[in-house]
Structure formats: structure tokens, C-alpha cells
Amino acid sequence: MRIAVFVAGQGRQVGMLSPDGLRVTPFDVPAEVARRGALPLVEAASRGEPLPAPASSSFALADVRLEAPLPLPRRNLWCVGRNYHAHAQELAGSVFKNNAADTMEWPIVFSKVPECVVGPADTVQLPAAAISQQIDYEAELAVVIGMGGKNISREAAMSHVYGYTIVNDVTARDVQMRHQQWDMGKSFDTFCPMGPWLVSADEMDGRETRVRCWVNGELRQDAPTANMIFDIPTLIETVSRGITLYPGDVIATGTPAGVGMGFKPPRYLRDGDTVRIEIDGIGSIENQFTGGA
């Protein structure tokens, strides 16, 4: 099942994509429910409730504007840093040298504020040069929690997964380093493109897929999720230690090698650049970056 959030004439709607991916059928839900995107459906599923009834008509996907499947996350997104072996190594000589793959005993976990989420084709706003000149991309598989819990064991973790989506963990590297923590440089407005929809866990296994990213058509990142240092069950176990996870919580699982900071010299994003991210079993998002003057 692929749950899409979209705008088609009557404001935000939430619906199900057809098997061929060409049409989307909205669920018959009030506008206030649709305003929260897929989140009410995830919450309802955690209570054992069925999906809402479909509306009587559908839309061609080409005729709608897709939005993030979770346009209003319930709280900050959980994010994981340095979680692919090659990515940890590519930054081993940088300011993050202490986070090389061979020195990490625990996942690096930080968060992004929910207000930075935008849609799969929305524009990402580069900040003024006086604020940051080192904007980077990070293609990531995101896990959406279905059944909440606390102190979830690694063995039980996958039963808590509702599904998956794509995020671009856009980062202001200079801000990230300036403050010696990551939340601020990760949370600028528009710094979390998400989508194109939410794919349920019965359709794919996030432990066995592939993440790719292109910048202006140039392939920069390409890795299987099997190359993660800390796999999805370990991440869920770690984040839930002493902290209750709720239905709809998002865990971004880290990015493969090939980020702009990893090049010599670094290749940061500029006005007019386009970043496309594709994950097998989900689809793709593509966002243009503008501004920065």
C-alpha cells in the first residue's frame, strides 16, 4: 500500500495510490483529518482500526500536486548520523574524524524540527550567505513507526514499523560545526523534503533496498541499506531506550557516502541546483534549491 498526500482542487487530501502508480483515490475523511496527512491513518492502524472508506472518484497522479506524506509530523524527526561505513570513512579526515566507523559504539542521534518538512517536489530555500554558505544534501531512507512503545527490543523492532518514505536531510555544514551540535544546522525552513508517499512495511523491507542521489543529473550517492553500521532494528531499539515512540514518529536512518562535504574540495549546493533521491521500492523525490544571495 502506498499512501499519498496531495492537493487537487479541494485542498489537502490523503489517499491510496493505484497498483500501477497512475491514479490516486482519496479516502473519505474530513478536511481536518486530511490536514494531518497520513498521520491519522497510522494512528488509527495502531489502534487496530481499518482504513477509511475510499471516495467514489479518483485523480490521475499527473493532475495532482504531491505533498509530504507527513506534512505535520507530531514532533521532531529522529535522525541518525554517520550510519554507512563508507560515509563515516569519507569524513574521517574532517571535523567529524572522531565519528569514523571504527570508533562508533552507539548511533549518533539528533533531530530536525517538524516545521522544516516540505513536499517531494517543493523548492528548498537556501539561506542568505551571511547565515550559511555550505548547504549539503543527504539522501536517506526514513522509517515511520506504526506501533508505539518504549524500550523496544531489537528482536521486536520490525513489528513496530508502519512503513517507509524518503527524506533529504539537508544540512548547513558551517552552522552544524559552529554550534558543535547538529539540530540548528539541520532544521532551517524547507530543509527536509519528504515523499513521494508512504509505503507500508508489507510491500518492502527497508533493510534490503538501495539509496541513490543525483545532483544536477550526476550520480553522487549509491548504496544498499545493508551497508548501514547500525541496522533498522538497532536504531529503533536505541531511540526507544527510556523514550516512548509514538505512531507516526519518523527515524531517518543516515546517508551513504557521496555528500558534498566529502569531496575535495567540498561541493556544496548553489542556487539553481536540483537534487533527486531514489530508493528502490518507494520511488523518488526531486527538489530545486534556490536563493542564497
Query: pLDDT for 252-263, tens place per residue?
Result: 999 999 999 999
Q: Give the model's pLDDT for residue 85.
A: 84
C-alpha cell at 68: 509530504
Give CA–CA dist 239/235, Å, rounded: 6
Cβ-contact 138, 253 below 8 angstroms: no
Give CA–CA dist 212/209, Å, rounded: 10
Cα 167 from chain centroid (whole Å): 2
Query: pLDDT for 128-152, tens place per residue?
Result: 999 999 999 999 999 999 999 999 9
Give CA–CA dist 72/107, Å, rounded: 26
Residue 287 is classified by DSSP as E
290, burial (CB in 10 Å: exposed 0-12, middle 13-18, buried 19+): middle
256, burial (CB in 10 Å: exposed 0-12, middle 13-18, buried 19+): buried
Q: What is the mean pLDDT of each run of 10 residues along the chain (293 residues)?
A: 92 96 96 96 97 94 97 97 82 58 79 98 97 97 98 98 98 88 90 98 98 98 97 98 98 97 96 98 98 85
Domain ranges of the chain: 2-67, 77-291
Helix (H, G, I), strand (E, B) or coil at 199: strand
For residue 67, report the phi and psi dihedrals to the nearest 5 degrees: -115, 175
Pick the CATH number of 77-291 from 3.90.850.10, 3.90.1170.50, 3.30.420.40, 3.40.220.10: 3.90.850.10
Q: Give the model's pLDDT for residue 10.
A: 73
